[in-house]
């Protein structure tokens, strides 16, 4: 299930992201259902991980869930459903503490869109195993209110010396994952990358997304 509702800034790249995920699904044996309706999301996730192996918040923004939807998402992830956040998923549900805990960090600000370097810290993960130690990319280089390091497994970080306007210094995670704290809970993966439509045509970024899906349990390795 791909959820793309926005009540704040809306990324023009959302259709490109949906198309990329559907293409990955066709190539790897999973179906993608996309919605912006919070009631449809809640109804779908209420069926549990047996119906939807993972939910992807793709550049959602603002308050996007109903009260019932919040509770359903909590139950779904606690029952083993995988959760993956892409880019502006960190700009979502600021008024719900559980969401911030689930994702790991909240967006604070970003400089202008520009080229920079992603430092890959952990190659022992399906989202980063195909990358070299330094990944040239163009994005908005999100700053977060606080570094999630220590509560998540950091996979990649921003090299702030490679672009202008970074605000976190030497500890600037961009991509991470974590196990759900609930017994039997599903895994969580987040990537801050994915602002532009061009990103979703990039083979390395598409493999990055597929690796995230593999980690949260949607796709098994061949």
* 46-89 pLDDT, tens digit each: 999 999 999 999 999 999 999 999 999 999 999 999 999 999 99
Q: Which pLDDT score is estimated for 180? A: 75
**For position 222, what pLDDT does the model report?**
38
* End-to-end Cα separation, the chain, in angstroms: 22
Local confidence band at 172 (pLDDT 50, 70, 90 cut-offs) = very high
pLDDT score of 181 more than 90: no
| Predicted local distance difference test score (pLDDT) of residue 221 | 42
Q: What percent of the chain has pLDDT above 90?
A: 94
Overall average pLDDT of the 27-40 stretch: 96
Q: Which of 131, 128, 115, 103 is nearest to 163 (CA)?
A: 115
Q: What mean pLDDT is reported for the chain?
A: 95
pTM: 0.96
Over residues 192-206, the mean pLDDT reads: 98
Q: Are 32 and 21 in contact (CB under 8 A)?
A: yes
Q: Tens digits of per-residue pLDDT, 98-154?
A: 999 999 999 999 999 999 999 999 999 999 999 999 999 999 999 999 999 999 999
Instruction: Sort 124 into a burial class: Cβ within 10 Å, 0-12 / 13-18 / 19+.
Output: exposed
Q: Is 164 exposed, middle or buried (0-12, 13-18, 19+ CB in 10 A)?
A: exposed
Class of domain 2-109+172-216: alpha beta
- At residue 219, the pLDDT reads 56
């Amino acid at each position: 299930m791909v959820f793309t509702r926005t009540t704040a800034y809306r990324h023009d790249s959302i259709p490109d992201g949906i198309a990329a995920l559907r293409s990955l699904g066709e190539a790897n044996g999973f179906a993608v259902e996309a919605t912006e309706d919070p009631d449809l999301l809640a109804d779908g996730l209420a069926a549990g991980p047996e119906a939807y192996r993972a939910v992807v918040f793709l550049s959602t923004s603002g308050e996007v869930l109903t009260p019932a939807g919040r509770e359903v998402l909590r139950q779904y992830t606690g029952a083993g459903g995988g959760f993956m956040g892409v880019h502006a998923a960190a700009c979502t549900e600021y008024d719900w503490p559980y969401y911030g805990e689930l994702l790991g960090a909240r967006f604070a600000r970003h400089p202008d869109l520009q080229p920079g370097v992603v430092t890959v810290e952990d190659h022992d993960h399906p989202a980063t195993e195909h990358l070299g130690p330094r990944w040239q990319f163009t994005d908005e280089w999100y700053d977060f209110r606080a570094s999630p390091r220590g509560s998540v497994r950091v996979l990649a970080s921003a090299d702030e010396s490679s672009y202008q306007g970074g605000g976190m210094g030497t500890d600037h995670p961009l991509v991470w994952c974590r196990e759900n704290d609930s017994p039997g809970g599903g895994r969580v993966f987040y990537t801050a990358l994915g602002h532009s439509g061009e990103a979703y045509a990039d083979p390395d970024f598409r493999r990055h997304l597929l690796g995230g899906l593999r980690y949260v349990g949607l796709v098994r390795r061949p």
